[in-house]
Homo-oligomer: A and B are copies of this chain.
Amino acid sequence: MEITRQTDYAIRALVHLAGLAPNTRVSTSTISEAEKIPLPFLTKVISHLVKAGLVVTNRGMGGGVSMARPPDEITLLDIIEAVEGPVLLNRCLLREGLCEMEPECGAHAAWEAIQNRLIADLRSVNLSQLADYRKVAKQAK
């Protein structure tokens, strides 16, 4: 039930960007070093985030990665979905009728309820909050 390492790296990279002044562009090598993300992993992660419209990349002189949206409009759920696709606790929740046992299943409704709570929880945390938590944590260090 774990998020993947790629998702964890995506969160780190985005918390890094969200902690900077709006529209700041950062090179992937700066993010890689600061967040201890191996560069090949980071490149892959960034491409997911670009596709999902969470960051933009700018080529050439003064290029780099920057946020595509304000950090308070990006939730933990958005980041997970950008890298892993829809949050699913059980495959049977992908769509109705996928599982042949569904009509007589005892657990389907329970899974649905628990998944809905988890999704709401992941949606309740935004990137701006995470960047603020980090500032406090760094100051306390």
Chain A interface residues (CB < 8 Å from chain B): 1-3, 5, 8, 11-12, 15, 35-36, 76, 80, 84, 87-92, 100-101, 103-107, 109-110, 113-114, 117-118, 121-122, 125, 129-134, 137-138, 141
A122 to B117, CA, bound (A): 11
A131 engages B106 (CB within 8 Å): yes
A15 to B106, CA, bound (A): 7
Besides the known contacts A103-B141, A106-B132, 6 further A-B residue pairs in the complex with CB atoms under 8 A apart: A1-B3, A8-B91, A76-B110, A103-B137, A109-B133, A117-B117
Which one of B104, B129, B134, B137 contacts A137 once the chains associate, using CB atoms below 8 Å?
B104
Which one of B3, B121, B134 contacts A106 once the chains associate, using CB atoms below 8 Å?
B134
Look across to chain B and name the residue whose beta carbon is closest to the beta carbon of A12: B101
A141 to B103, CA, bound (A): 7
